Structure 1
Amino acid sequence: MDIICSPAQRALASATQSTGLEPSAKEMPRALRLVARALTPGDDKITDAAWRDILCTIRRKNWASRMMHLARQAHEPWISKEDMIEAAGRIDHPEAGDELLRHHLDIVIADRFREISHVPGDVFAAVKADLSDSGQFLSGQQVDHLARRIAEIFGVQDFAFESELIAQEQAQAAREEEIRRKAAQRQQREIEKLRRWEASLVGFDQVPALLHCSRQEALRWVAENRLPIARRTTQSDGIERFEFDPDMLRKLRHQLGRWRSRQDDAPRRPDAPAVGAKIGNAVIARVAALDRYAGHFKTARALKRRLVLITGPTNSGKSHAALDALAEAESGLALAPLRLLAHEFKEALGKRGVAASLMTGEERILVPDSRHIAATVEMCPFYTPVDVAIIDEAQMLTDPDRGAAWTAAIMGVPARTVYILGAPDCIPLIRRIATLCNDPLDEVSLERKSPLRAANGPTRLDQLGRSDAVIAFSRRDVLDLRAELMARGRRVAVVYGALSPEVRRAEAARFNRGEADILVATDAIGMGLNLSIRRVIFSALKKYDGRQSRDLLPQEVKQIGGRAGRYGHHEDGIVGVLAGAGNIHMIDRMLKAPPEPMVELRPLVQPDMDIVRAVADEVGSESLYGVLTRIKRAVLRADDPNYRLADMEQPMEIAAALEGVEGLELSQRWTYAMCPIDERDNGITRLVSWAAEHAAGRAVPPPGTGRLTPPAKAGREELERAEKRHKRLVAWRWLSIRFLEFYRETDRAAEHTEALNDWIESVLRQQSHRRESVRQYDGPGTRHRRAGKPSSRPSLHRTRRRD
């Protein structure tokens, strides 16, 4: 037997005899491999300690699984997979039973809780917040159990601690349930109120009788915009039906004498409604002025504005001339789509010798005596005239989530000269807006500074070189590609939407400095970020846009692919596709395609606080949900010739949830409804909880960072959790600018934000990661493969609103 046995087999037999520790039949193959690795050449024995270590290594996966079972039995959802893996890694007894497993797991949990905070109450709040991140909520029994565990870990002998935590949780749960109950009742009441109003409306045929006038007089007064039309609907035969509020018509009877005698020959201007006039519900459309939206921006309309539209592809230098003009002006404003780009505008002005303040949703940097501002589009100041304004990325006008902000900025920015920068596709819509505003429009068309062409053929993953960028359309695919490239020894930087502007910028800097060979990114690089890219390679030619999976549009390929071949760094830009992900001829056709003809030329609009307040006054309601419902149902009809009402789904959901919160003014509710949150991260529930604390006069503490594991050990779950925490801090800081009295701890929030940014960037810098997935791109016609098997995962991707 000794003749046919290998050294590893002899060593394993000797070790089992010496220690009495035998592997199972299932463990045997791996045990032999590990023993073989542990042997010194020429030896056929290992030490007893080495054999115990080998058995522990083999059994740790099963120990972690067993710990998961124990945690589930104990109803302890706060114990994570990472906790179990760490606890299993600490065990050095090969025959560990449940008692030892539980002992080590308890030690790991105690260490984690102590890392969170030295204050037991803060630990409880942090653990609860972490669970809510993943959609888990504690039952009463679990709250009691967690409170006891924390008390044990921190040596709290006072049972009042546990009782207090439990009482707080019960009170909080009762408050939340009461908010939900009231919200449901009030929503129903507002809906019934709207239904009764709509049922009371009458057609034009009944107007003469209500006003005691002739049909001809009624027609004339409607044409003169004297009789408020409550609702317009288009019937099946295509004829438009006008409906009127009878109560409001009766209130106008006393004016008929003047109208008949022509004493009032100046009907109300449709573009300048009398917002404060109490004419009643039927005048909502005129009060809201959404069908006369340009007239809402009175400061801009009072100026003699000139619009200058500068269009061109990426890398054509659109912003250079506009920034020069802005720097030379005595006062000015630069509006960008992202906070990161607002910072870049501020820096660009600084390089031209002009100090500028910064205004974004979550931060303010005010420079004394400066008359220039760099801001995000949503922060456009509509009441302070300036000499020159820049509005970047005007093609965003068609974006279903944020397009209305561009409409407002272009129509309402109070600047004598407005430079509008964008892709050629936006030209028809800008012309339409200029006509609606009655502003003169100059057009400038620029060509790309360096040529852009399609690659000669598909690109394999192993053909990617330095200064290449690979484009994916989901966070998961970005991280998959990153893992694959790092497994091949490549240094990788990443950019995707969930990363903060600071981290994106740091990753871009690593790539530009040559500290990373390849950039893997989503279409988040399509706007901003100065990147020295040689080639842009698409990993897919389809994307999930939040509504459906669809082919990329030519403008998207041009916008993203145009990042290749940065002028002054590369002679030309090359756009390609990974082998097996699409046809290179499609890339070539889309790069050469002319701008798509724009079918929809009605800009998107949405109400602002002035409009919300005016409508609320007219309907006599302080319910934001009721006001928004009325605006949606009665203000801007679907076939309005000039404007489209933007998607207001999220503000409506927030307004509905806030109905149950007492003590907030209408303007405060509107501010909460505009707060940037992620609905998929329990965002509305969290926002309502914050609003309830605010309404009760209590301060709202900033979200914490939670436990940040060492970056080298962090996996995707920890990274995603940190990204979610950062988003919550963004929302908190956004609210702190507007409600500083209740969102006070701004320094602490800034510290948490910085800590998360630093940690996320450290994680992304790790180049020696364990390979979390194995996919290969070998050649034409191949598909993604995982562990040698075809992938069944479709290439679906999701983009979200607002950065």
Structure 2
Amino acid sequence: MTDESMTPGEGAAEAAIGAAGYPVEPHERAPLLRALSRIPSPGAEDVRHALCEIRRRGWAARITELAHRAGRAWISAADARAAAAAIMSPDATEEALLAALGAVTATRLRDAGPDAEAALRAVMEGMADAGGSLSIEQLDDLARSVATAWDLDPEHARRFRKTAIQAEERRRHELREAQRAARERRREEVRRLREWERGLVDIEDVPGLLGCTPKEAQRWVTAGLVPVARRIPAGRGGKGERRQFDPAVLAPLRAEVAGWRSAEREAGDARRGAGERGGGLAAPAIPGGRAANAAVARVAALDRYAGHFATARALDRRITLVTGPTNSGKSHTALDRLASAESGHALAPLRLLAHEFREALEARGVAASLSTGEERIRVPGSRHLAATVEMCPFGDPVDVAVVDEAQMLHDPDRGAAWTAAIMGVPAREVFVLGAPESVPMVRRIAKLCGDPVEEVSLQRKSPLVAARNPVALGDLGPGDALVAFSRRDVLQFREELIKRGRRVAVVYGALSPEVRLAEAARFRNGDADILVATDAIGMGLNLPIRRVVFSALRKFDGTASRDLKAQEVKQIGGRAGRYGQHEEGIVAVLAGAGSPGFVRGMLSALPESPADLRPQVQPDAAIVAAVAAEIGSDSLFGVLARIKRAVLRRDDPNYRLADMTQPLAIASAIDGIPGLSLLDRWTYATCPVDERDSGVARLSRWAMEHGAGRPVSPPEAGHLPPPHRAAGGPVLEKAEKVYKRLVAWRWLSLRFPDAYPDREAAQGESDRLDAWIEEVLRHQRRGRSVHAA
């Protein structure tokens, strides 16, 4: 570039570079000139600062390379970036880079936990969660760095490193043994399953085993007296199925044949006496009634699932199905009836809603206890309980029960819990509340239980209308809720709206119930103008929303990206226009995100009939124990594999097996851990963990500590920066993940208090994270948009 072609700003920048005297690489000159041209009268200090900024990315890459070359796999990319950011000299040497890294990692290791032991544990847990591991030599180096960061004296540091290495060598030995045992168990269970399948016989062999005629065998199989062990669908284009039977199961039934024949004769005599016509002998009278459940139930009996709930079946239950859209007042009448009863249960889909039910009962003058997966509040003398659906008690009868959000029967992850709750809640009067889409499934469940059902259909109390035109982001105002379908989008919209001067509250699934309530309160009290939320607002939060605006009309459902369904638009959009606060609710779409006509069509669509109306079912502890005893195995993997393979056929007319992928994955990971009983392992398999956050691997590490008789420490987030520095960034995401890990830890601590003893510390860390996350979200600094991790 010649002097004649330079702008005045570039000329001043070029002069400043020359005066500063720093060597500048050719590829650095253009960005350096651009940076300095924006500064009036740049000087040597400006050159130094700009050149450092340009070189930071290269420094970070070099720091990472040096750390990995030294075998320090525990050095993260964030460490390298922080170290590069701390360097203020453009001509930094490798020694300077490493010195900056040392200072950054020392701070991180001090902030990782309350003491050196906890800090070392936190760093290793973080590496394990990310799928990494250290050699013993690398572990020793890490322990040395932790000891240095915590300023341990030489003798203490030596013991600290030795203890860390011994503990890790012991853990790895236990892990190898557990994995070996798990592999052997899986091989043995697969061998047993194949051997069992080879030993099954076809229908033609049943007469010889029972000592009956082929027609009798066919009749008794159809009646359910002779259990089918396995059903094999016909091949492509074929019809029917091949039924197979277990000779070991049929052998004891030979003694029942005389009784079955006698029952058939008596039934036939009764029918002839009544003047009925019919060909052949009548089927036994018992298969259609409730007594047949006991007669035909074999082991798991998932094909007779309703009979599994003995207390509920012994009651004269009545089901009242109350359906209606959001804001139709479904829960009000049911809660009034529950409050007037001597005893009862209120079952909610979320811990947040269980708390709301408890508060609603207390507002009506009724004391109620609380039971959720991670929390218990027992009120002495109370005969009412508010609980999450998974915590439904199936033992002692009560007068009234309320089961909310029955459309969750169709949820692929949790639907089986609603099946169990509606079928098994031991109440004489059961109120089932849900969207209109839940009607066919609840009818099916009531029929399977033999319970009469009364249907009540409610209408929305205030009209819900679709906006004619899209809404621009800048036109969002007080009372609006902007709906996105990912945490990332929620936080990006939040930052964009804050830049425009709006006060914003947010709600998304990764937030704890306490933080969601606090954010909802900010919106409700006017401390925030706009709510930005995922579809998490579609269930539970009562908010004064005037208008719901969809930022997208498609969502990723865990499998694929698809258009929103009518029920989703109604459920989420129905949060607009709260009765008594707004005359109507408005549902709109963000400009550029889709057509208002789509929203209008979804709001007016009739309830969709689900493709599969069979309720989902899953085993519980009693079923697992029964199947284990039946097949003579202590392997959880083997029990669940048998249940998945043989207990409930895929085309069963009444039920379908819930997805057991995660329980099987957990069972496979922990089956070889000594010190845990079969039902201990089953409890672990039902623990709520996030597989995307290495949940199964973390659970197996906890289970190994438990099995070895060592206490499991609760997860910790370590040092948290000031909230104004964390909005939308990776530290916020880490805090949310640690909170979810604490939820799983607290869930296990209620079931294994001796193995997970430090509930007070876990609760304290949960409270600390709640307060910090809420403060991060409360902070409304205007500035550059921060992209969420």
Q: TM-score, normalised by structure 2?
A: 0.91
Give the partner amino acid of 1:605.
Answer: V
Deviation at 1:231, TM superposition (A): 2.1
Give the Cα–Cα distance (whole angstroms) in 1 for the partners of residues 265 and 299 of structure 2: 20
Give SS of 1:288's match: coil
Counterpart among 634, 649, 668 of residue 680 in structure 2: 668
Is the CA contact (8 Å cut-off) linking 1:532 and 1:564 kept in structure 2? yes
Give the Cα–Cα distance (whole angstroms) in 1 for the partners of residues 534 and 395 of structure 2: 37
Give SS of 1:286's match: coil
* Cα pair distance change 1:419/1:512, threshold 3 Å: same
Deviation by residue 1:726-775 (Cα, 9 ceiling, x = unmatched): 11111110000011111100000001111122222222223226535689
Counterpart among 78, 81, 89 of residue 93 in structure 1: 89
Deviation at 1:412, TM superposition (A): 0.8
Counterpart among 304, 324, 328 of residue 316 in structure 1: 328
* Cα pair distance change 1:270/1:195, threshold 3 Å: farther
Could you say what the CA RMSD is over the residues aligned between the two structures, in angstroms? 2.8
Counterpart among 154, 179, 197 of residue 157 in structure 1: 154
Give the Cα–Cα distance (whole angstroms) in 2 for the partners of residues 224 and 592 of structure 1: 45
Find the counterpart in structure 2 of residue 201 from structure 1: 200
Deviation at 1:74, TM superposition (A): 2.8
2:102 is the counterpart of 1:115: no
Give SS of 2:482's match: strand
2:440 is the counterpart of 1:433: no
Is the CA contact (8 Å cut-off) linking 2:487 and 2:508 kept in structure 1? yes
* Cα pair distance change 1:682/1:639, threshold 3 Å: same
Find the counterpart in structure 2 of residue 239 from structure 1: 240
Aligned residue runs from structure 1 range 291-690, under 5 A: 291-690=303-702
Is the CA contact (8 Å cut-off) linking 2:189 and 2:638 kept in structure 1? yes
* Cα pair distance change 1:578/1:263, threshold 3 Å: closer
Deviation at 1:490, TM superposition (A): 2.4
Deviation at 1:250, TM superposition (A): 2.9
Give the Cα–Cα distance (whole angstroms) in 2 for the partners of residues 45 and 196 of structure 1: 83
Give the partner amino acid of 2:146.
Answer: I
Give the Cα–Cα distance (whole angstroms) in 1 for the partners of residues 499 and 637 of structure 2: 52
Give the Cα–Cα distance (whole angstroms) in 2 for the partners of residues 75 and 462 of structure 1: 51
Is the CA contact (8 Å cut-off) linking 1:452 and 1:575 kept in structure 2? yes
Give SS of 1:130's match: helix
* Cα pair distance change 1:585/1:16, threshold 3 Å: closer
Is the CA contact (8 Å cut-off) linking 2:293 and 2:304 kept in structure 1? no
Deviation at 1:575, TM superposition (A): 0.9
The number of residue pairs the alignment matches comes to 764
2:770 is the counterpart of 1:765: no
Find the counterpart in structure 1 of residue 741 from structure 2: 728
Deviation by residue 1:443-500 (Cα, 9 ceiling, x = unmatched): 1111111111111111221121222111111222222222322233322222111111
Give SS of 2:342's match: coil
Find the counterpart in structure 1 of residue 173 from structure 2: 174
Give SS of 2:160's match: helix
* Cα pair distance change 1:513/1:213, threshold 3 Å: same
Worse-matched range after superposition: 161-170 or 542-551: 161-170
Deviation at 1:37, TM superposition (A): 6.5
Give the Cα–Cα distance (whole angstroms) in 2 for the partners of residues 211 and 2 of structure 1: 107
* Cα pair distance change 1:429/1:275, threshold 3 Å: closer
Find the counterpart in structure 1 of residue 214 from structure 2: 215
Deviation by residue 1:299-322 (Cα, 9 ceiling, x = unmatched): 111112111111111111111111
Give the partner amino acid of 2:416.
Answer: A
Give the Cα–Cα distance (whole angstroms) in 2 for the partners of residues 165 and 355 of structure 1: 50
Give the Cα–Cα distance (whole angstroms) in 2 for the partners of residues 605 and 567 of structure 1: 37
Deviation at 1:217, TM superposition (A): 3.8
Deviation at 1:415, TM superposition (A): 1.1
Unaligned runs of 5+ in 1: 278-282, 776-803
Deviation at 1:289, TM superposition (A): 2.1
Give the Cα–Cα distance (whole angstroms) in 1 for the partners of residues 743 and 701 of structure 2: 16
Find the counterpart in structure 1 of residue 70 from structure 2: 74
Give the Cα–Cα distance (whole angstroms) in 2 for the partners of residues 332 and 656 of structure 1: 39
Deviation at 1:19, TM superposition (A): 4.8
Deviation by residue 1:692-734 (Cα, 9 ceiling, x = unmatched): 2212222111111233233222253222222221111111100
Give the Cα–Cα distance (whole angstroms) in 2 for the partners of residues 167 and 772 of structure 1: 47
Is the CA contact (8 Å cut-off) linking 1:35 and 1:54 kept in structure 2? yes
Q: TM-score, normalised by structure 1?
A: 0.89
Find the counterpart in structure 1 of residue 274 from structure 2: none
Worse-matched range after superposition: 170-179 or 574-583: 170-179
Give the partner amino acid of 1:761.
Answer: E
Deviation by residue 1:534-584 (Cα, 9 ceiling, x = unmatched): 111111111111122211111111011111111222221111111221111
Give SS of 2:298's match: helix
Give the Cα–Cα distance (whole angstroms) in 1 for the partners of residues 545 and 240 of structure 2: 56
Deviation at 1:591, TM superposition (A): 0.5
Give the Cα–Cα distance (whole angstroms) in 2 for the partners of residues 701 and 494 of structure 1: 31
Worse-matched range after superposition: 129-138 or 312-321: 129-138
Find the counterpart in structure 2 of residue 146 from structure 1: 142
Deviation at 1:101, TM superposition (A): 2.1
Deviation at 1:677, TM superposition (A): 0.6
Deviation at 1:358, TM superposition (A): 0.8
Give the partner amino acid of 2:250.
Answer: L
Deviation at 1:26, TM superposition (A): 5.0
Give the Cα–Cα distance (whole angstroms) in 2 for the partners of residues 273 and 614 of structure 1: 20
Find the counterpart in structure 1 of residue 275 from structure 2: none
